[in-house]
Chain A
Amino acid sequence: MKNASITPVSERRLKNNTSLGQTFRNSLTMAYRGLLKIRRTPEQLFDVTLQPIIFTLMFTYIFGGAISGDVQSYLPVIIPGILVQTVITTSIVTGVQLREDMDKGVFDRFKSLPIARIAPLAGALLADTIRYTIATVLTFSMGYIMGYRPDGGLGNVILAALLVIVCSWAISWIFAFFGVIARTASSVQGISMLVLFPLTFLSNAFVPVKTMPSWLRWFADINPVSHLITAVRHLTNSGSFGWDFALTLIGAAVIVIVFAPLTVRAYMRRT
């Protein structure tokens, strides 16, 4: 810097668009930033470590006897349910943290850099898949300790885990959108919980839907969360891919296609 002089503007190669490759690289760098932040503040991981352990223990022993007769035969039902519920709930934190992060000055710098506009958002969301992975691994581990032996085999369990992580990543775009448009981090938490609580509980996560009154059953049947849980149950318990698997992936894709551009646009408009 001391002796180097600045390249004159006329000798610079300048272009006004961002290539796909650059978008990808920028997003990965931003994801790296997200990972560094997680490493610097490990207390952020309390929710994804404690929640799977406590919820799995709690729900299995509370509902096990009542719903499936005993805990052992309830495990194949409850573990996929708890898994989906826990990991999706975790994705709310993504929106909350994005809101907190965006209030800091560093986002002004990101905006002034010649990088892909989506990168700061995509990077943050990508880094959070590490949180979903932790929650997923812990839930399956808790299940294993309690005696859960999925018939689908390890390969299909891993596939089911990936499905849950991908879907949570897709859903986190919704919460990222709330994060970008909301005024405060706590309001993001509030709105997101309000949306997510009915979605996760009014599903087939904890109880068979046939015990529900017909109007509730109708909702539980069309609830996308139910389809994800069913897809995970089929994979882990019988190793089969059903209509639910395809439907879930299509749903995840639709969420990203709708909410990613919406979020980026809202982010650009925000000062």
Chain B
Amino acid sequence: MNVNKNMRDNSEWAVEAQGLVKKFGSNYAVDGVNLNVRPGAIYGVLGPNGAGKTTTIKMLATLLRPDAGSAKIFGYDVVKEPQIVRQLIGVTGQYASVDESLTATENLVIFSRLLGLGRAEAKHKSAELLEEFGLTEAAKRPLKNFSGGMRRRLDLAASLIAQPPLIFLDEPTTGLDPRTRNQMWDTIRRLVKTGSTVLLTTQYLQEADELADRIAVIDRGRVVAEGTADELKASIGRSSLQLRIQESQDTELARRTVEQVLRVHSAVSPEGAKITAPMADADKVTDLLIALREAGIKLAEMSVQKPTLDEVFLTITGHGVKEDASEETDARKKMNEEVK
């Protein structure tokens, strides 16, 4: 059949978006986003609030109609064949998309029934999912009394009823405590093991780093960098060193010492007490500490941190958009060659 042939041709990609644009009034929320996601992978879309992550997901999930560009899910067009696309995806929104006034079981039963399961089947499936997500005890309580983490878990459970091959997770861990966040990460990893593809958005580089096979960094509605976590990090330095000194009159001296020992440029915070410098080689810290001691500078605090999203951003957008764009097209060319 026509449909089948169409699918075989394009099933290379779980998600294939080209030049997606969404305008709200005169504001371009999404301004030409390209994404290619391989089946069976976790793909991270990384960006700050308002970068266009949610809008992109909404277009891919048929919730919003793109103003320009096209997107295909397993080869099916999101605008022309939305009802097929909906049979292939599960969507977990930024704000839990479950019914507040109903219980966990009632929510899952209703979604199961809507997806065509019979009465008994729906009950069975709901119980199974609640069990898996550790919500059995809370099954009969109204969601009003659920914690944020429980709500997210239920939300994710609801997305898995039909066992969709592609799952969209919009900021699945924003606002969760570290323990619940780790549980969510485990769940996501398990999902992919069963053969699902996951496209998740996040504001945290660490999360993308932990989970995603590939990452697209998105800013002001555009993809500004794309690659594996290692590729992205290599472009901005492995980690950054942060020093806080006790006497602020020593700042200049401390800064000179840092630059001499590490041979990098450093930055001083506006209050003048904090020095930040990129660090390629962790071993150099020993030299630095000895040098600081010899200079008689007393430290209040010292830490080595992974680059934050802010730093990724500063670096990537600081390079100038042109360079990033050409890098991106290179990467795309390479991928297209692989496909061929």
Contact = CB atoms under 8 A, between A and B. Distances in A.
A and B co-occur in one complex: yes
Interface of A: 1-10, 12, 14-18, 22, 25-26, 29-30, 32-33, 36-37, 40-41, 104-115, 119, 271
B62 to A, nearest CB: 7
A112 B86 contact: yes
B18 interface: no
Interface residues of B, number: 51
14 contacts: A6-B165, A8-B165, A9-B11, A14-B3, A14-B88, A16-B84, A32-B113, A40-B101, A105-B96, A111-B63, A112-B63, A114-B84, A114-B115, A115-B114
A40 B91 contact: no
Contact of B129 (A1, A104, A114): A1
Nearest to A119: B114
A16 B83 CA distance: 5
B194 A6 contact: yes
Contacts of B61: 112
Contact of B194 (A5, A22, A32, A108): A5
A105 B155 CA distance: 10
Contacts of B99: 33, 37, 104, 106
Which interface residue of A6, A10, A32 has the most chain B CB atoms within 10 A? A6
Contacts of B128: 1
Nearest to A120: B114
B218 interface: no
Contact of B8 (A10, A14, A108): A10
Which interface residue of A18, A105, A119, A271 has the most chain B CB atoms within 10 A? A105
A113 B86 contact: yes
Nearest to A18: B83
A37 B64 CA distance: 28
B156 to A, nearest CB: 11
B115 A113 contact: yes
List the 6 closest A-B pairs by CB distance, nearest first: A114-B86, A109-B97, A6-B195, A105-B97, A112-B91, A29-B113
A33 B112 CA distance: 12
Given A108-B93, A271-B64, A6 B163 contact: yes
Contact of B83 (A3, A15, A108): A15
A92 B11 CA distance: 48
B269 to A, nearest CB: 39
A263 B60 CA distance: 24
Nearest to B89: A112
B160 interface: yes
Contacts of B96: 105
A32 to B, nearest CB: 7
B63 A14 contact: no
B211 to A, nearest CB: 18
A271 B67 CA distance: 13
Given A33-B110, A40-B101, 12 more contacts: A1-B129, A1-B132, A2-B132, A9-B11, A16-B83, A30-B114, A36-B110, A105-B93, A108-B91, A109-B97, A112-B61, A115-B114
Nearest to A269: B65
B98 A109 contact: yes
B114 A26 contact: yes
Contacts of A271: 58, 63-64
A112 B62 contact: yes
B207 interface: no
Contacts of A7: 163, 165
B83 A106 contact: no
Interface string B288-307: 00000000000000000000
Contacts of A109: 91, 93, 97-98, 111, 158
Contacts of B129: 1
B114 A12 contact: no
Given A29-B114, A108-B93, A16 B101 contact: no
B196 A6 contact: yes
